[in-house]
Amino acid sequence: MSLMVRDIKNIMEKIAPIKLKEDYDNVGLMVGDLNSEVTSVLVALDCTLKVIEEAKQKKCNLIFTHHPLLFRKPSAITTDTLIGKKIIELIKNDISLYSSHTNLDSVKGGINDIIMKILEFENFEIIDPVHNVGLSYQNSGIGRIVALKEPITLKELCEKVKSTLELSYVRYAGENFKNISKIAVINGSGQDYFDVARKLGADCIITGDTTYHYVSDYNEQGIAVIDAGHFGTEWPAVKVVGEILKNKIQNMGFNNDVIVSENIYDPYKLK
């Protein structure tokens, strides 16, 4: 018996049920055939052309990503567009692509929970719980918030975020020696949840993709913001999900490799 694309789909949808995705999102099998045999799996944050080439070189015929390649419906699939090039390259090389996005962010034990554990935060709660999905998923939703046993200064918290997420830098707003007692963490892009976090009493928000006016306004209200980047608040956790997927495959009796991509990096550079 061989490991099939359908098996990967079933594993991932038990880990992160599709019903937990946000309405605007697109998750699941992006490209491929559920009845195809899987050689090896390549785990990545994004399906870039370099990742596709890496899959070819390492003989991985299934790529698992956090960010969906098909986020919006393309009007055409041609080599004139980047997305078209990627889809054509995947199909030409018989490589399947599966993505778990906001459902993996939201679910208990998913991206946001993993980031909280990496940051060494315990006894956290959900910022925006999911609704109308049944009792099984009561502990799922977007964002996490934690009340610290002992306050930490903003400067110390910035250093903690840098060291635990293995980042070379973070952007932040707030006074260095401001005492932080309640922290909201929203992996990826979290600005839409800033007001909810504020109402829950957060005095610092850790997220990525922040913009000037949001940060300025919340800083003026006495709420510190640490922007650890979209990449920084997701890739460390996606690598852990790769290990979870590998263990699930092994528990099914298969020995297929699950390989973490070497071509995933933060597109931003500091000069």
Beta strands, E only, 45-113: 62-65, 96-99
Work out whether the CA dihedral 46, 50, 53, 57 comes out positive or negative.
negative
pLDDT band at 135 (very low <50, low <70, confident <90, very high): low
What percent of the chain lies above the pLDDT cut of 70?
A: 99
Work out the mean pLDDT of the chain and round it to a whole number: 95
Tell the burial category of 60 from Cβ atoms under 10 Å away from its Cβ (0-12, 13-18, 19+).
buried
Please give the Cα distance from 187 to 233 (Å, whole number): 5
pLDDT tens digits for range 87-120: 999 999 999 999 999 999 999 999 999 999 999 9
Q: What is the pLDDT of residues 253-265, one digit of tens each?
A: 999 999 999 999 9
The reported pLDDT for the residue numbered 72 is: 82
Per-residue confidence band for 239, with pLDDT thresholds at 50, 70 and 90: very high
Residue 83 has pLDDT above 90, yes or no: yes
What amino acid is encoded at 83 in this protein? I
Question: Do the domains 108-227 and 5-103+235-258 match in fold?
Answer: yes
pTM of the entire predicted model: 0.95
pLDDT, position 5: 98
Q: Which fold has domain 108-227?
A: 3.40.1390
For position 71, what pLDDT does the model report?
86
- The correct answer on CATH 3.40.50.620 for the domain covering 5-103+235-258 is no
Strands, DSSP E only, in the chain? 28-31, 41-44, 62-65, 96-99, 125-129, 141-153, 171-173, 179-189, 204-208, 224-227, 258-260
pLDDT in tens, 52-79: 999 999 999 999 999 999 988 788 899 9
pLDDT at residue 74, as a whole number: 82
In the chain, where the domains are located: 5-103+235-258, 108-227
Query: Which pairing describes strands 96-99 and 62-65: parallel, antiparallel, or unpaired?
Result: parallel
Given the DSSP bridges, would you call strands 204-208 and 179-189 parallel, antiparallel or unpaired?
parallel
C-alpha–C-alpha distance, residues 38 and 6, integer Å: 9
CB 96 within 8 A of CB 63: yes
Distance, CA of 268 to CA of 253 (rounded, Å): 41
